[in-house]
C-alpha cells in the first residue's frame, strides 16, 4: 500500500472508525464495498495502555482471523505477541480471545483470500485483485503476511458495557425525546 494511503487509513481509522465502534455503530459500517471491520483492544507491550486497532477480518470454523498488512513490523502485531489475550469488538458483539499465528499454508491461503475479499476496496491495495489472483500467485504474495487466529475464550467488553461509549448517543437521544415530549 502506498505510504500516503497508509496515512489516510490511519487517520480515518483513529478519528472515525474507532469512535463509531466505541459508540456502538459498528454494525452499520460493514458491507462488501467498504469492508468488514472489527476493532482489537491491544495492550501496549511497553506502556501497558490499551490501543484500539481496526482491521478487516473473516470468521472461519468458529475462529476469527485477521492479517497484519504491516507484516511483522506493525505495532499492534508485536503487542499481540507480547500479550496474546485480547478483546475484539466485532459488529455483532465483543469477545475475549487468545491469539496465535496460523501457519498451515493451505488454510492460510483460503482464509487470507477471504479476509482480502472482506476488505472491500481496501483489499486491492496489496496490488492485486483477491477475487481473480491464482492460488499460486497469492501464496507467493502472502508468504510473509502473518495470519492471526483468535480462539474465543468468552465475552469481551463492548460499547454498551462499562467503559464503552454507547451511553453517549443513548443519553443524547433520550434527552431529545424528553424535550420533544415536554413541548
Model confidence over 127-173: pLDDT tens digits? 889 999 999 999 999 998 999 999 999 988 888 887 888 888 888 98
Report angle CA 168, 87, 120 to the nearest 5 degrees: 80
Closest CA to 131 of 113, 148, 106: 113
Sketch the domain layout of the chain as residue ranges. 3-182
**What is the pLDDT at residue 126?**
76
Averaged pLDDT of the chain: 90
* End-to-end Cα distance, the chain: 54
The DSSP symbol for 151 reads E
Residues 6+ apart with CB under 8 A from 136: none
Rounded CA gap, 41 and 50, in Å?
6
CATH topology of domain 3-182: Pnp Oxidase; Chain A (2.30.110)
Q: Is 172 exposed, middle or buried (0-12, 13-18, 19+ CB in 10 A)?
A: exposed
Asked if 88 and 95 count as a contact pair (C-beta separation under 8 A), the reply is yes
pLDDT surpassing 80 at residue 82: yes
pLDDT at residue 79, rounded to an integer: 94
Q: What are the phi and psi torsion angles at 33 (to 5°)?
A: -90, -50
The predicted model gives 65-79 an average pLDDT of: 89
CA 23 to chain centre: 16
C-alpha cell at position 20: 463509531
Residue range 103-127: mean pLDDT, rounded: 89
Residue 70 has a pLDDT of: 80
Residue count of the chain: 183
- Cα dihedral 106, 108, 110, 113, rounded to 10, equals -140
Quick one: pLDDT band at residue 122, thresholds 50, 70, 90?
Answer: confident
Question: What pLDDT does 1 receive?
Answer: 62
pLDDT of residue 164: 82
Model pTM score: 0.86
Amino acid at each position: 500500500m502506498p505510504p500516503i494511503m497508509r496515512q489516510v487509513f490511519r487517520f480515518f481509522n483513529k478519528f472515525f472508525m474507532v469512535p463509531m465502534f466505541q459508540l456502538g455503530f459498528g454494525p452499520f459500517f460493514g458491507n462488501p464495498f467498504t469492508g468488514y471491520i472489527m476493532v482489537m483492544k491491544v495492550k501496549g507491550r511497553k506502556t501497558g495502555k490499551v490501543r484500539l486497532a481496526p482491521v478487516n477480518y473473516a470468521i472461519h470454523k468458529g475462529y476469527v482471523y485477521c492479517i497484519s498488512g504491516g507484516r511483522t513490523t506493525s505495532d499492534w502485531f508485536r503487542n499481540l505477541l507480547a500479550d496474546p489475550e485480547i478483546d475484539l469488538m466485532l459488529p455483532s458483539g465483543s469477545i475475549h480471545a487468545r491469539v496465535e499465528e496460523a501457519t498451515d499454508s493451505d488454510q492460510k491461503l483460503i482464509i487470507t483470500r477471504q479476509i482480502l475479499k472482506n476488505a472491500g476496496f481496501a483489499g486491492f491495495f496489496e496490488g492485486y485483485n483477491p477475487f481473480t489472483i491464482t492460488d499460486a500467485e497469492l501464496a507467493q504474495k502472502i508468504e510473509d503476511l502473518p495470519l492471526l487466529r483468535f480462539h474465543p475464550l468468552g465475552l469481551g467488553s463492548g460499547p454498551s458495557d462499562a467503559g464503552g461509549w454507547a451511553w453517549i448517543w443513548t443519553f443524547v437521544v433520550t434527552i431529545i425525546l424528553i424535550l420533544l415530549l415536554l413541548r
